Amino acid sequence: MTDSPITVLLIHGGGASGWDWHLVAPLLREYGYEVLAPDLPIEDPETGIAEYADFLAAELGDAERVVVVAHSYGGLVAPVLAARRPVEQLILVSAMIPAPGEAPNEWWSKSGYDALGLELPMETEEQMVAAFLHDVPAELAAEELARGREQVEDGDVPVPLDAWPDVPTRFLLCRDDRFFPADFVRTVVRERLGIDPDEIDGSHGVMLSRPRELADRVNRYVTSWRASPGRS
């Protein structure tokens, strides 16, 4: 019997949209994956992480084989989704990792991020590019900022997660990320997931600056896991 196709679900970061993945998605389709990159309903004040996870579960429908790739804030949503419906693998890209019962607004202090004292200025477009998109082509960076959306959830509501789901998880650190610096990320990944992160060159906007490298890395993770003993 032929395997069901693998669906790769791409979850965007906070204040963003599925457009973030528009360069990566067709490259993954070239590998034979079905790809979904929906816009989370972040502009709806009645929604939060639980509702985002339910929304994504509905988007997936009856897809049997699902790999989730989550960027930045999407890392808070991915494990909740994986706890609610079958997922073969989680791939976190420069992502936030929630602790059980931790609210999004608490993450910044409890993860140790606030203690970094980065204080990156983000008042102008140039400052936003410098913080998040410094290696992204100028036209793409400008469009990314223009497509930004207001996220209006209550960030004090705890992430509905009792424990990290029993799902194979990989973390891909972006070495040139100024927003989530590499040393900080290495520490958080080891403390919260008990694994060493993999690494790739690129800024926080790696899906726009290095789409081919990112798509290749995702494919490598999927195929290597599928080829491991006991998998079919």
Query: Would you give per-residue pLDDT tens digits along the chain (232 residues)?
Result: 357 899 999 999 999 999 999 999 999 999 999 999 999 999 999 999 999 999 999 999 999 999 999 999 999 999 999 999 999 999 999 999 999 999 999 999 999 999 999 989 999 999 999 999 999 999 999 999 999 999 999 999 999 999 999 999 999 999 999 999 999 999 999 999 999 999 999 999 999 999 999 999 999 999 997 665 545 3
Q: Rounded to whole angstroms, how far apart are CA atoms 221 and 193?
A: 17
pLDDT at 8: 98
How large is the C-alpha radius of gyration of the chain?
A: 17
pTM: predicted TM-score of the whole model, two decimal places? 0.96
User: What tokens were used for 17?
Assistant: 């949209």
Beta bridge partners of 198: 172
Domain borders along the chain are 6-226
Among the listed residues 111, 113, 106, the one whose alpha carbon sits nearest the alpha carbon of residue 155: 106
Contacts of 37 (CB under 8 A, 6+ apart): 9, 10, 12, 18, 19, 20, 21, 22, 25
Looking at residue 230, what is its pLDDT? Answer: 47
pLDDT at residue 1 in the model: 37
Q: What is the pLDDT of residue 132?
A: 98
- The three-state secondary structure class of 77 is helix
- The fold for domain 6-226 equals Rossmann fold (3.40.50)
